[in-house]
Amino acid sequence: MNGLALSLVLAAAVVHAFWNFSAKRVGDGGAPFVFLYYTVGAVVFAPAAAVFLVLSPQRPEWTWLLAALGTALLHVAYGIVLQRGYAVGDLSVVYPLARGTGPLLSVLAAVLFLGEDPGAAGLAGALLVIAGVLVVSSGGPTADGASPARRRAGVFYGVLTGVVIAGYTLWDAHSVTGLGVPPLVYFGVGTLVQSLLLAPHALRNRARVARLWRDHRREALTIGLLSPVAYLLVLFALRMAPVSLVAPARELSIVLGGLAAWRVLGEAHAVRRLAGSAVVLAGIAAIAMA
């Protein structure tokens, strides 16, 4: 895998784990909280995209707008499903399942339908990452002190989030490579559309939005600034490496998220979490050699 692409993906993983930890702290923020952090991202990055369009010699195309609309719809679904998962399940269940199901489906689709060939080392690394994720998120029905119902809810929303992740990963790869949309423009327009899509719901729940902003302003700002950074790093990496390698490699975030759940939130199981993390790291090392 291209060294620069791998560096971008691993940096994105660190940032991604950090902002997910902030999202978990909010809990049941729902669509109003998703609106808040998408709006923060739009305020910062939409103007940057506009400046890029003015200064760039590349002429914008209508397909860019359609591509941004597609990613906006998928990311709105992702944000709502993820936030709901964090409200009803544990970070140690929802996060690794979401981040493991996503690359699994992305790799399968990239190989079967996009004709990508990650090579033996790349495919072995992807499978190791997925296996490590399953170890991190496995356990009995009452693991980590969670009730059976809470664990089932975490599994459901974790897998559902992973399905949406696979959808936007494949769509993003098509947009920035097949359609040639500049990543900054793609994200800047997309995040503005995301905020607009959620605006009607936010207006109907103005009091709740105001309360969330008052109580969780720091988390909204953290996610609104760091989520775009992680996303942009992956978009640039997708221009240099195939989906079948980028999608699994970014899951270093699972190691960091699992450690945060264990050490900070007290969602133990230390041995299982560390063993799964080791397998994930082995997989990423194999991807680096692909």
Q: What pLDDT, on the 0 to 100 scale, is given for residue 61? A: 92
Q: What pLDDT, on the 0 to 100 scale, is given for residue 140? A: 46
Instruction: Measure the CA–CA gap between 223 and 229, rounded to whole angstroms.
Output: 10
Q: What 3-state class would DSSP assign to 2?
A: coil
| Confidence category of residue 166, pLDDT binned at 50, 70, 90 | very high
pLDDT digits (tens, 9 = 90+) for 127-145: 787 777 667 656 544 444 5
pLDDT at 122 over 90: no
pLDDT digits (tens, 9 = 90+) for 206-254: 999 999 999 999 999 999 999 999 989 999 999 888 887 777 766 666 6
User: Among 107, 109, 101, which residue's Cα sits nearest to residue 156?
Assistant: 101
Instruction: Measure the CA–CA gap between 204 and 110, rounded to whole angstroms.
Output: 40
What would the two tokens of residue 103 be? 């690359």
The Cα-based distances of 154 to 31, 138, 146, 182 in angstroms read 18, 12, 10, 36
CA angle 191, 73, 256 (to 5 degrees): 70
User: What's the mean pLDDT when you consider all of the chain?
Assistant: 82
| Confidence category of residue 93, pLDDT binned at 50, 70, 90 | confident
The mean per-residue pLDDT over the stretch 55-60 comes to 88
Torsion-angle region of 269 (φ positive above 0: left; ψ -120 to 50: alpha; else: beta): beta
The mean per-residue pLDDT over the stretch 154-176 comes to 92
Among all chains, which residue has been given the structure tokens 């944000």? 79
CA angle 18, 187, 242 (to 5 degrees): 80
User: Among 202, 262, 268, which residue's Cα sits nearest to residue 39?
Assistant: 202
What would the two tokens of residue 139 be? 């356990």
Q: Please state, as a whole number, how many other Cβ atoms lie within 10 Å of the Cβ of residue 224.
A: 22
pLDDT at 259 over 80: no
pLDDT at 32 over 70: yes
User: Among 282, 271, 285, which residue's Cα sits nearest to residue 135?
Assistant: 271
Among all chains, which residue has been given the structure tokens 């909280």? 33
What would the two tokens of residue 210 be? 């105001």
Q: What pLDDT, on the 0 to 100 scale, is given for residue 58? A: 86
Q: What pLDDT, on the 0 to 100 scale, is given for residue 110? A: 86
The mean per-residue pLDDT over the stretch 163-188 comes to 93
| Confidence category of residue 170, pLDDT binned at 50, 70, 90 | very high
